[in-house]
Amino acid sequence: MKTEKFNNPTQAKVYLIGSGIAGLASALYLIKDAGVPGENIHILEKDKIAGGATDGAGETEKGFVVRGGRMHEMHYECYWELLSHIPSLEDPNVSVRDESYEFNERFVSNGQARLLKDGKKMDVSSYGLSFKQQADFLKLTYVSEKSLGNDRIEDWFDQSFFDTNFWYIWTSMFAFQKWSSLAEMRRYMKRFIHLVDGLYKLGGVMRTKYNQYDSVVRPMKKYLEEKGVRFDFGKEVVDIDFNLSADKKTATVLHMKDKSEIVLGKNDFVFFTNGSITESTDNGTWNTPAELKGIAASGSWKLWKKIAAKDSAFGNPSPFCDNIELQKWYSFTATMKDNTFLKYMENFSGNVDGTGGLVTMTDSNWLMSVVIARQPHFPQQPDDVKIFWGYGLYPDRKGNYINKTMAECTGAEMLEELYYHLKIQDLMKPITAAGKVNCIPVAMPFVDSLFMPRKIGDRPDVVVKGATNFAFLGQFAEAPKDCVFTVEYSVRTAQMAVYGLFETDKKVHPMYDSAHNPKYLLGALKAISR
């Protein structure tokens, strides 16, 4: 049965579970395109702060932290359009989109030290793929997604593929593992085929002026609050009741952790960001490792599990969240009251801050990478303070220098390991001894959960068949053909939810179809055979 769209928006009340970019985008589309009054929109957020995965916090003395930094590209069609409606905090006459575009014109990604070995830059002019590997690559883009089932990347490519420049660039840029979903890799290859040519230097990668909490979340929150949207922090939803029949599914009650309830009336809606890659994260310190927490500390995994048990159309969270060993990795953020490290990296790499992107140490047991964003990365960051981010994909392996797994390491030990790979231990010793360096490690148990092998149907549709008043949002709702681990995907699901349930004159933005553009196809073919 086709869901009838709601056409009485001024009477609607909408509850958004989760204040990540998917929830924030939904609020904007509900107001702008569906005509729901801002004051009728409630964002229920279990944390004390908005933004979910798009975080950025801290100050000089305690240290700054970003769990991750986002690479964007020109064809994030939904995301950039969304941000074209949001005034920048620094100049309200300019949108966040235009602020970002202007920033990217000045600081163009052009990584000159993409891969390192033995502390030296590697030649990445060739991706190093054999003829067979090139053929496997092409074949993958032509088979159907369905035919791949829940196969892993290592089921498709031979073992030597994982030693090529191409794989080191790919795995460190997108955080795919050998055991990640082949279907998701296929989506990336098709969706981002226009980037394949310049992948070795991060060509086409765009960033925001500051970290995404300051550049995106704060302006969006301000915009929505001015429209009357209510943010209820510290509100965790622990269960949802439904009326379920063969042709209609209606959410009826939201149960909160604090034992309160929200009973949904006939004009009320709920959108749920089911699953989150930053659930249960933990910060360590300079002297203590981060703690690996599990599902018990999460909100969305527990809630999704609870409701998935009520109806098979609500998807299957288990493939995504029940194997932390394969999903976790660790990141760290360094704060330095000194510019020696940045100066060294600028001279060594040939990239000024904000233009180099990822630098990956291919011989690191942890497969460690660092990114030096344009400084300041926080608006309140003093001129003489420098910040950079790093991560390791294999936190259970012992370091090459530090005799501990990455997971067991303090912030200080993670930096020691990094200095060893760059051969700058002596250079950095006096700066560390003078107490000018801080580093905060972060454990992210679910960060790669969206790449876990999955079957069609494991992610629920955004608006499931027969749903009258609810939608799923975010990385674990199905947006056909688009790529997870992107803010674009979450914003797309917000459009699908609002335009799917409410009468609007809007259509979900089409995806940029570079896979059928001969120019990009040829460019990619040439690049993989280089």
Ligand X SMILES: Cc1cc2nc3c(=O)[nH]c(=O)nc-3n(C[C@H](O)[C@H](O)[C@H](O)COP(=O)(O)OP(=O)(O)OC[C@H]3O[C@@H](n4cnc5c(N)ncnc54)[C@H](O)[C@@H]3O)c2cc1C
Determine, following the binding rule CB under 6 A, whether residue 262 of this chain makes contact with ligand X. Answer: no
| Closest to 460 (Cα-Cα) out of 249, 302, 317 | 317
Residue 484, classed as helix, strand or coil, is coil
- From candidates 14, 30, 40, 46, binder to ligand X by CB under 6 A: 46
Query: Considering only CA atoms, which of 398, 407, 403 is closest in space to residue 325?
Result: 407
Nearest distance from residue 70's CB to ligand X, in Å? 4
Q: Is 179 helix (H, G, I), strand (E, B) or coil?
A: coil
* 3-state SS class at 32: helix
Taking CB under 6 A as the binding criterion, the range among 16-24, 151-159, 191-199, 395-403 that sits at the site for ligand X is 16-24
Of the residues 12, 14, 16, 19, which one makes contact with ligand X according to CB under 6 A: 19
Tell me: does residue 21 bind ligand X (CB under 6 A): yes
CA distances from 230 to 23, 42, 263, 415 (A): 12, 5, 17, 41
DSSP, res 5: P
Residue 199 CA to residue 292 CA, distance in Å, equals 32
Which one among 9, 12, 14, 18 touches ligand X, defined by CB under 6 A?
Answer: 18
Q: Does 276 bind ligand X (CB under 6 A)?
A: yes
Which of the residues 164 through 183 are near ligand X (CB under 6 A)?
none
Using CB under 6 A as the binding rule, whether residue 237 contacts ligand X is answered as yes
Interface segment toward ligand X; rule CB under 6 A; list 20-28, 101-109, 376-384, 412-420: 20-28
List the interface residues with ligand X, window 353-382 (CB under 6 A): none
- Residue pair 220/52 in contact (Cβ under 8 Å)? The answer is no
Q: Which is closer to ligand X, CB of 276 or CB of 469? A: 276
20 lies in the binding site for ligand X (CB under 6 A): yes
Residue 494: both structure tokens together = 């917000």
Residues 442-461 that bind ligand X (CB under 6 A): 447
Least distance to ligand X, CB of residue 268, Å: 17
Task: Indicate the residue among 127 and 472 with the shorter CB distance to ligand X.
Answer: 472
Smallest separation, CB 193 to ligand X (Å): 17
Please say which residue, 129 or 202, places its beta carbon nearer to ligand X.
Answer: 202
For ligand X, give the closer residue by CB, 47 or 408: 47
Neighbour tally for 473: CB within 10 Å: 30
CA pair distance 86, 219, nearest whole angstrom? 7
Give the integer Cα–Cα distance in Å for 431 and 45.
Answer: 40
Residue 27 found at the interface with ligand X (CB under 6 A): no
DSSP 204: T
| Binding characters for ligand X, 305-334, by CB under 6 A (x = yes) | --------------------------x---
Q: From the CB of 215, what's the least distance to ligand X, in Å?
A: 13
Cβ–Cβ < 8 Å for 115, 124? yes
β-sheet with 237-244: strand ranges across:
237-244, 249-256, 261-263
Distance CA 405, CA 403 (A): 7
Please give the distance of CA 174 from its chain centroid, rounded to a whole number: 10
Q: Is the CB of 172 or the CB of 490 nearer to ligand X?
A: 490
Q: d(Cα 432, Cα 453) in Å, to the nearest integer?
A: 42
Determine which residue in the list 40, 54, 181, 355 makes contact with ligand X, applying CB under 6 A.
54
Residue 189 interacting with ligand X (CB under 6 A): no
- What residues have CB less than 8 Å from 128, skipping those under 6 apart? 164, 165, 166
- CB of residue 343 to ligand X, shortest distance in Å: 26
| Distance separating alpha carbons of residues 256 and 363, to the nearest angstrom | 48
Q: Which is nearer to ligand X, 277 or 527 (CB)?
A: 277
Contact 451, 177 (CB under 8 A): yes
> Per-residue x/- marks for ligand X, 62-81, CB under 6 A?
-----xx-xxx---------
Size of site (CB under 6 A) for ligand X: 37
Which of 88, 273, 351, 432 is the binder for ligand X (CB under 6 A)? Answer: 273
How far CA 401 is from CA of 111, 391, 407, 440, in Å, comes to 26, 16, 15, 19
For position 299 contacting ligand X by CB under 6 A, the verdict is yes
Per the CB < 8 A criterion, the answer to whether 345 and 372 are in contact is yes
- Rule CB under 6 A: choose which of 36, 229, 277, 307 binds ligand X: 277
* 490 belongs to the binding site for ligand X (CB under 6 A): yes
Q: Counting contacts by CB under 6 A, is residue 469 touching ligand X?
A: no
CA distance 194 to 198: 8
By C-beta, is 95 or 281 nearer to ligand X? 281
Contacts with ligand X by CB under 6 A lie at 17-23, 44-47, 52-54, 67-68, 70-72, 236-237, 273, 276-278, 299-300, 303, 331, 447, 474-475, 485-488, 490
